[in-house]
Every structure is written in C-alpha cells, then in structure tokens.
Copies of this chain bind each other. A is one copy, B any other.
C-alpha cells in the first residue's frame, strides 16, 4: 500500500511552486500518492485553511500525511510543526492552521521540526513548502517517526474562532466562512438549535429551518444544519453571499418562533 500525502496551500498552481513541492516529496519518497486538497486558499488566510482542513483530515485513513502551507511568516522564527493527531500526521507552519484539528482530535502530540536532516539543503528563507514541509512529509510518509523531528510543543498557536452565545432562548453567532456556492457557514452548532427557531441574518430576514436545499423554491433563502453539523444559510440554486450582501463576520441570530 502506498502512503498518501495531501497538500493544502495558498500557492495557486500556475507558478510551479506546488509542482516543486510534489517533486521534492517524490524525490525522497517516490512511491507516495499525492492528493491535491486545494491550492486556492486565499493568500495568507490561515482561518480559511483551518476550516477547509477540518472537513477532510480525519476522513482520510490512518497514516495519511496532511501538509498545509499557508505561511505568510515564512523566514521568521515561527516553528515548523509536525502534529500527530488521531493517527494522522499533519505538517505545516505553527500559525494556527491546525487550530480545529487540535480542538477536535481525541488525542494529539506536536513537535517542532528542527533537525536539518529532515530539510532540503540548501534551505531558502522564502519557500519552506519546498525546503521544509515537503521533505518532512516525504520522510514521515516513509516511516520516520514524528518524535524524531525535534522537541515537543505543548501549546501550538491557536486562532481565536468566535464562539456563539445563548441569551435565554436566543442564540447569537456569526458567519465564519463563505463557501464556493456563496453559502454562509455559521459558528452555531446543531446542538444549540431546535426546529422551532427561525434564523435572522442581516437585519430583515427571518428564515425557517429546512432539511435540504431542495426544499426551497428556486431563489429562496434556506437555513439548515449543514454537513459540518453547523447552521448554514443559502439560497436555492443561488448565491446567498451576493443575495444578502454579507460575508465573514456577519451576525446570525436564532430566534424562537412566536
């Protein structure tokens, strides 16, 4: 069985930087299979990367190596992290991209990659995707242990994701992500929602809860528990972000039906 490595970056593909990472991996570990997760994370958007990564890291089989390179601090003193979580390996800069993995893993240990035998030589200051994270992925996919890369890290950097609040029967949260379809993903988990609630987003809209986008008429607003088990607002066959003219950070309220 070939080991699998996934790649998540904000590089786009046109420059050849992603292909350079793939070359650097297969140079060391020629038999790995590399799956592109995405290279279209908005430049520097560690928050978007954390949310995308949450959607797949534990669906992959045990032993998978997930590489995440959203790295605006490349060349600074930020650590290069190797995280072992629920029998998957995650590799990337210590800048918060693993926040949701750490929050959700049953158990994890993290290491600061410092031993230069795991890096490319010479080592650039500007492209650790190729020179640090790709070789690390190759070595770990080839059977080296995470603990070999360097000392343990007790408290990796975590991004501060906003938490929803409850006030009586009212729940207030916010839009934390807008997806490719313009669907508005909130931070309100299914456990805080009852079917007798309506959703207010922006200032005017009171949307009842549905089970599926196909329940609404074309062009109508829909609110439902999405496949990540959080509240999501969309427009049937349309783009909710455009429709409501709102985006990340917008307030969402769940209000009891009168």
- Residues of chain A at the chain B interface (Cβ within 8 Å): 1-2, 4, 6, 8, 11-20, 22-24, 26-27, 30-31, 33-44, 48, 51-61, 64, 72-76, 78, 124-127, 130-131, 177, 179-181, 211-215, 224, 226-227, 232, 237
Question: What residues on B are CB-neighbors of A232 within 8 Å?
Answer: 126
- Looking across the interface, which residue of chain B has its beta carbon closest to that of A12? B180
A215 CB, min distance to chain B CBs, angstroms: 7
What's the Cα separation between A56 and B13 when bound, in Å? Answer: 12
CB pair B18–A212 under 8 Å, yes or no, is no
Interface contact B212-A16, CB-CB below 8 Å: no
A1-B30, A131-B227 known; 13 new pairs, CB 8 Å cut-off, are: A12-B180, A13-B37, A13-B39, A14-B42, A14-B48, A15-B179, A17-B179, A26-B35, A27-B60, A74-B214, A76-B212, A125-B224, A126-B226
- A60 to chain B minimum Cβ distance, whole angstroms, is 4
Return the contact of A55 from the options B16, B213, B227 (Cβ within 8 A).
Answer: B16
